[in-house]
Amino acid sequence: MTQPTRAEVVVVGAGLAGLAAATRLAAAGRDVLVLEGSDHVGGRLSTDRIDGFVVDRGFQVLNTGYPRVADLDLADLDLGYFRTGARIPGEGTTHRVVDPRSRPTTLPATVTAPIGTLREKAALAAFSVRAGYLPVRRLLAAPERTAEEALRSAGAGGESLDRFLRPFLAGVLLEDGLETSSRYLDLLWRSFVRGRIGLPARGMQAVGEQLAARLPVHALQLGRRVTGVTPGEVRTGSGSVRADAVVVATDPATAAELLPGLPASAPRQVTTHLHVLPTSPWDEPLLVLGRPGGPLVNTVVLTDAQPRYSPDDRALVASSTLAPTREADGREEIARAHGVATTDLAHLTSITVTGAQPAAVPPLELRRPVDLGDGLFVCGDHRDTPSIQGALASGARAARAVLRQLRA
C-alpha cells in the first residue's frame, strides 16, 4: 500500500490508545491515517499461535469493570470468564477466596480461609464496598499514600495483606512493594468490584483488531515505522506525510524519542512461563497466588476460563514472576501450586516483557495533558492509568482535543 503524502490527522501507533483516538476521529468525518511500525494492531496486546495454543504476550486479561470497556463489543469478543477471587496456597492444600456475590455457597470457605483474622476480613470487605460504591470524586479526594499504607490504615494488614492482597495486586501492578498510589488502588479495586475478568476467544489482540475494523479502508498502514515527528509532519522510511494534527500513540519509550522532553517511561516488567498439562487439575477458573517469599506471583489454568485457548482438551497454564526467570527455576513451584508432578508440565514458551507498564506511584497524575501545542498530541496509558482503561481513556481525550483544534 502506497504511503500518502497528506492526511488531516496522522496517528502514530495502532495500540489501544491510538485506535481509540483514530476511530473517534474517523467517526467524526476526519481524514485519518494510522501508521504502525509492527505487523499487527493492539500494541502490547499481541497474540500468537504456538502448536495450536492461543498465546498472549504475557498474562493479560480484560476487566469489564473498566468504564471505557463500554466502547467495545464484548459479545463479539466471546469472553470466557475467571471466577472473582483466588486460591491461596497452604500446607499441602489450597484455600479458596471467592466473591460471595457471584457464588454465595463459597462464603463459608472464604470466611474460614487462612488469610488473617475475622477483623481483617471484615476490613477487606469494608474496603471493597468503599472502593466499589463511593463516587469517584470522593475516592480521589481522599489523602494520598502508598497502596500498602492505605490497606494497613483500612485494617487489611497482617496475613490478609501478605498472603492475599500483596501477591494478588503484584500480578496487576507488577510490583510487590505496594508502592503504587492509593488513589490508583481505589480505582483499580473499584473495577474488580464492579466487573469480571475475561479472555477473548481469539486472544487479547482481538481487542485491538475489533477497534481497527471500525476504521475506513486504507486508513491503517502496518509496517510503517515512524522515524521523526515535527509539527505538521510525520517521517517514515517511505517519506513524509503532512498533517494538520499529529497524535503520537506509542509506547512510552518511543513517545519520549519522538517528542523530546516528554516525561514517559514504563519501568515495570514481567516474565510469564506457559506450560501444557494433559488436563486441568481444577474444577473452576481461579487464579492461584504465589507463596509469600516464593518465586511466583501467580499461576493459572487459562483454559479453565477460555477453553478456546487450547486446540484440544489439554490445559494451558500461565505462571508469572516479576523478575526475569528461567523456566527451570519455577517449574517445581508451578507443579506444587497446581498439585501436579513436574513431569506433567510440558514447557510451551516463556515471555519476558520489559516496559510492560508505567508506574503509578504517588503523587498520581491522572489525565496528563494530551495537547502539546503546535498541532502535536500524545496519548497512551502513560497519560492516564497503567491499564487498558488508561489507554482507551487517553485516546478518547486526545481525539476530543484534536477535534477542538480542527474546528478552531
Alpha carbon distance 281, 279 (integer Å): 6
**What per-residue confidence (pLDDT) applies to 104?**
86
When mean pLDDT is compared across 9-18, 88-97, 145-154, 243-252, the lowest value belongs to: 88-97
d(CA 172, CA 62): 12
Whole-number pLDDT of residue 48: 98
- Neighbouring-strand partners of residue 15: 42
In the predicted structure, residue 167 carries a pLDDT above the cut 80 = yes
- Interval 254-297: pLDDT, tens: 999 999 999 999 999 999 999 999 999 999 999 999 999 899 99
Angle at 15 between CA 288 and CA 363, to 5 degrees: 70
Is residue 111's pLDDT more than 90? no
Could you tell me the pLDDT band of residue 91, with boundaries at 50, 70 and 90? confident
Mean pLDDT of 339-346: 97
If residue 228 lies in a helix (H) or strand (E), which one and from where to where?
A: strand 226-230
Written as one letter, the residue type at 405 is Q
**Rounded distance between C-alpha atoms, residue 136 and residue 187, angstroms:** 8
d(CA 248, CA 271) in angstroms, rounded, equals 28
Return the exposure string of 18-46: e unless at least 16 CB atoms fall within 10 Å of the residue's CB, then b.
bbbbbbbbbeeebbbbbbbbeebbbbbbb
The predicted model scores a pTM of: 0.96
The burial of 139, by beta-carbon neighbours within 10 Å (0-12 exposed, 13-18 middle, 19 or more buried), is given as: middle
Residue 67: pLDDT over 80: yes
pLDDT of 206 strictly over 90:
yes
More confident residue, 113 or 36: 36
Nearest to 201 by CA among 300, 310, 281, 288: 310
Q: What is the pLDDT of residue 102?
A: 81
- Take residue 138 and report the three cell numbers written for it: 470522593
Helix (H) or strand (E) holding 133: helix 118-133
pLDDT (0 to 100) of residue 73: 98
∠ CA 3-204-266, rounded to 5°: 75
Which of 124, 116, 80 lies closest to 100, judged by CA?
124
Residue 92 has pLDDT above 80, yes or no: no
Whether the per-residue pLDDT at 100 is higher than 90: the answer is: no
C-alpha–C-alpha distance, residues 180 and 183, integer Å: 8
CB atoms under 10 Å from CB of 158, counted, come to 15
User: pLDDT digit string (tens) for 152-165?
Assistant: 999 999 999 999 99
Q: Do the beta carbons of residue 354 and residue 174 sit within 8 Å?
A: no
The residue ranking higher by pLDDT, 293 or 197, is 197
Provide the pLDDT for residue 4.
95
Mean pLDDT for all residues in the chain: 96
Q: Indicate the pLDDT class of residue 108, thresholds 50, 70 and 90.
A: confident
CA neighbours within 13 Å on the CB side: how many for 260?
4
Q: What percent of the chain has pLDDT over 90?
A: 92
CA atoms within a 13 Å half-sphere pointing along the CA-CB vector of 140? 8
Cα separation of 233 and 376, whole Å? 10
**Average pLDDT of span 297-308:** 98
